[in-house]
Amino acid sequence: MMSTSTTPASVCVAGCGHWGKKLVRNFHQLGKLGGVFDANPEHLAKFGEQYPGVRQVASFGAAIADPLVNAVAIATPAELHARMAIQALDVGKDAFVEKPLALTPEDGQAMVDAARRNNRILMVGHLLIYHPAIQAIKELIDKGELGRVEYLYSSRLSMGKTRREENALWSFAPHDVSILLLLTGQTPMQATAVGGTYLQPNIADVTVSNLLFESGTRAHIFVSWLPPYKEQRLVVIGSKKMVVFEDSRSTDKVMIYAKRSPGATAISKCRSPRARRWRFPPMSRSGWSARSSSIAWSSAARHGRRARTA
């Protein structure tokens, strides 16, 4: 969604919890932080101590009514995203919304409609598409180095905070879906998902999604917050080469493999394919993710340009 404003972006971050605090830090470092709002007064007071001079806003209504604020970054619980974003858009503020954008198609469409109606920017925090490794894999695909993309697999596993508002699919898989859509350049023609509920009623703790694209490419996504370890893995199988990106590894995060010869079908001929490392600039996970998406968002809000996830 586009806007035509060229006013320097002044962003109020709404929700200063686990991810919101990273947005606060990055917008502050960029000189774009116009205020912070959190429903918990203790959280708000801590940010006032950490960032002297940054305004602490008592309510979301006050934040979007402030003429000095022209954009909001929403990092509240997912069930509040649609209502808060639409409120902001309807009073002329651009809105950055952490994933998931919304919990129903109807809410998501209402948010898009509000952005179009008010000629404002609506951007979702699909920050992984800004990762240098994902951008490099996309470039390999576009140049044809991998050949035709035949199959993709993405897993995101981590024992962590149990959500009450959203299941593992809504909490983890938006990252993976955004990556698969970027790499394939397509919308799936068929999608199914199954899950299991173990910790609390009606909230799936593990899900497996299967996608089929018109080109014949297939993909599946496995997410869960049950395993006692962290795994973030993307596998892209092309007709010429294969790529494995393991963001949870400290080294050798991206490996490019030669495709096995078509004639090597017997078990006796199956050998580990040749591999080479791909190196990208060392950055911490929080460094490339929140900062890159924050830069893209503030630039879009200032110049009215479309960002990758707007």
Could you write out the DSSP letters of every residue in 34-83?
Answer: EEEE-S-HHHHHHHHHHSTTPPEES-HHHHHH-TT--EEEE-S-GGGHHH
How far is it, in rounded angstroms, from Cα 116 to Cα 108? Answer: 13
Query: Do residues 200 and 162 touch, judged by C-beta distance below 8 A?
Result: yes
Amino acid in the structure at residue 116: R
CATH code for the part of the protein at 11-126+287-303: 3.40.50.720
Domain assignments of the chain as residue spans, ordered by start: 11-126+287-303, 128-281
- 126-151 residue pLDDT tens: 888 888 889 999 999 999 999 999 99
Asked whether residue 2 carries a pLDDT value surpassing 50, the answer given is: no
- What pLDDT is attached to residue 262? 55
Whole-number average pLDDT of the chain: 84
> How wide is the angle at C-alpha 130 spanned by C-alphas 127 and 135, nearest 5°?
140
Equal fold, 11-126+287-303 vs 128-281: no
Asked whether residue 273 carries a pLDDT value surpassing 50, the answer given is: yes
Torsion region of 189: left, alpha or beta (phi above 0 gives left; psi -120 to 50 gives alpha): alpha
Say which CATH architecture domain 128-281 belongs to: 2-Layer Sandwich (3.30)
Residue carrying structure tokens 């790499």? 183
- Point out the least confidently predicted range of 9-18, 61-70, 105-114, 277-286: 277-286
Query: What angle do helix axes 105-118 and 81-90 make, rounded to 10 degrees?
Result: 10
